[in-house]
């Protein structure tokens, strides 16, 4: 019996046995996983997806081909850097087939960036992210107090850094209290301890500045000061923070986030507290300058007072002269109006017998009446014979 396809029913061409799609897929899957096993491959990430399950899905491609890849949640949690589209990577994984779609893919066990180590890439990504948040901006840096009454030092209590700091601060200035906040400065969990110690130091009563200090060491030894928690603790401190980690050539993220960076712990002590000898010299110079200024001001004041005194004397003299001249003129005027002055010119006044009434008419002095004549230099008394 012929079928519409041209084959006899129940008879397969080339003596082949027909199998289901699932069977074929499983055979391919078994062959691939057996023959290939572990696979090492490099390429560029694209179509990256991170569902809420925690798995990571992406494609790995180059100029010739593309293959799907998946990284299960457990492996994804061990990543120290972020995957992103366009990132060149190399990975180790197992080739398998995803049966529901009949597609082959790589289950990724380990992955690292191409040309740069995973730790370095993670560091670069952290720097970029924190920088984008503005945690390293110069504008957010705060000035250090000139004469702090209390400082806190976040460091290992047994390290050389704390000894150097105490020696420098004690030698330079004895007016500052020093609070030691002990912490690990390297090793597992050190980053979280340092961050907690910075927060605690900033909240301690009376603390005006915090120093985060550690002596020199390898980049691995200083790695805790590149911890994101440490950077955020420094940026979030309520008081200024000085970072004194490693030596001059060592730069950590703590240095970038701090309000001031010291090249060494000893320099941190010099930055934070003043030098008593320099302060004393400065006060002496100020006292001398004040004395000189006082002398100059006193001399100038005395000269101004002399000028004012002379001016007052001159003004008083001019005023007295003017008043004297006016008085003389008034005196002359009064003298001109004085009847005695008229008498001095040869005139006289005739007064009645009472010596007070001025005789202006002969009828006021009839015959036989006594009259008085007032002259310039005396008085005459006479009797009227006829009027």
Taking only the tens place, the pLDDT of each residue in 221-264 is 888 999 999 999 999 999 999 999 987 777 899 999 999 999 99
Q: Contact, 242 vs 255, CB < 8 A? A: no
Q: What is the dihedral of CA 241, 247, 253, 255, to 10 degrees?
A: 30
What pLDDT score does 210 carry?
Answer: 97
Strand intervals (E) in the chain = 38-49, 56-61, 66-71, 88-98, 103-113, 150-155, 177-182, 209-214, 241-245, 260-261, 349-351, 370-374, 379-383
Q: Are 213 and 246 in contact (CB under 8 A)?
A: no
pLDDT score recorded for residue 19: 75
Contact status, residue 175 vs residue 275, Cβ threshold 8 Å: no
Q: What is the pTM of this model?
A: 0.59
Distant-in-sequence, close-in-space partners of 116: CB < 8 Å, separation ≥ 6: 124
The rounded distance, in Å, linking the Cα atoms of 326 and 329 is 5
CB 103 within 8 A of CB 65: no
Which residue positions in the chain have pLDDT lower than 70?
Answer: 1-16, 117, 339-344, 346, 387
- The owner of tokens 């000061």 is 225
Are the beta carbons of 253 and 226 closer than 8 angstroms? yes
């Amino acid at each position: 019996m012929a079928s519409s396809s041209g084959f006899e029913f129940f008879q397969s061409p080339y003596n082949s046995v027909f199998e289901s799609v699932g069977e074929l897929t499983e055979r391919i899957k078994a062959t691939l996983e057996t023959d290939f096993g572990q696979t090492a491959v490099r390429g560029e990430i694209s179509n990256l997806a991170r569902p809420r399950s925690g798995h990571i899905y992406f494609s790995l491609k180059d100029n010739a081909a593309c293959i799907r890849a998946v990284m299960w949640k457990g492996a994804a949690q061990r990543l120290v850097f972020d995957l992103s589209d366009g990132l060149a990577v190399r990975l180790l994984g197992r080739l398998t087939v995803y049966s529901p779609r009949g597609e082959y893919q790589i289950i990724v066990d380990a992955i690292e960036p191409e040309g740069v180590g995973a730790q370095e890439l993670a560091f670069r990504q952290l720097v970029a992210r924190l920088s984008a948040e503005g945690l390293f901006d110069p504008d957010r840096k705060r000035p250090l107090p000139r004469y702090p009454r209390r400082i806190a030092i976040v460091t290992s209590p047994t390290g050389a850094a704390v000894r150097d700091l105490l020696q420098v601060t004690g030698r330079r200035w004895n007016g500052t209290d020093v609070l030691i906040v002990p912490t690990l400065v390297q090793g597992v969990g050190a980053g979280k301890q340092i961050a907690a110690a910075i927060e605690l130091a900033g909240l301690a009563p009376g603390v005006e500045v915090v120093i985060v200090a550690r002596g020199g060491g390898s980049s691995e030894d200083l790695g805790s000061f590149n911890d994101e928690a440490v950077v955020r603790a420094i940026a979030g401190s309520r008081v200024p923070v000085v970072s004194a980690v490693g030596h001059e050539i060592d730069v950590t993220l703590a240095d970038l986030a701090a309000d001031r960076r010291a090249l060494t712990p000893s320099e941190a002590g010099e930055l934070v507290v003043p030098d008593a000898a320099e302060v004393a010299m400065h006060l002496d110079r100020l006292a001398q300058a004040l004395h000189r200024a006082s002398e100059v001001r006193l001399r100038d004041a005395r000269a101004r007072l002399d000028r004012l005194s002379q001016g007052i004397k001159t003004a008083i003299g001019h005023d007295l002269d003017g008043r004297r001249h006016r008085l003389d003129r008034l005196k002359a005027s009064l003298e001109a109006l004085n009847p005695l002055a008229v008498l001095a010119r040869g005139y006289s006044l005739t007064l009645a017998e009472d010596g007070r009434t001025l005789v202006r008419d002969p009828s006021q002095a009839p015959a036989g009446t006594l009259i008085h004549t007032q002259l310039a230099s005396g008085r005459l008394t006479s009797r009227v014979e006829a009027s």
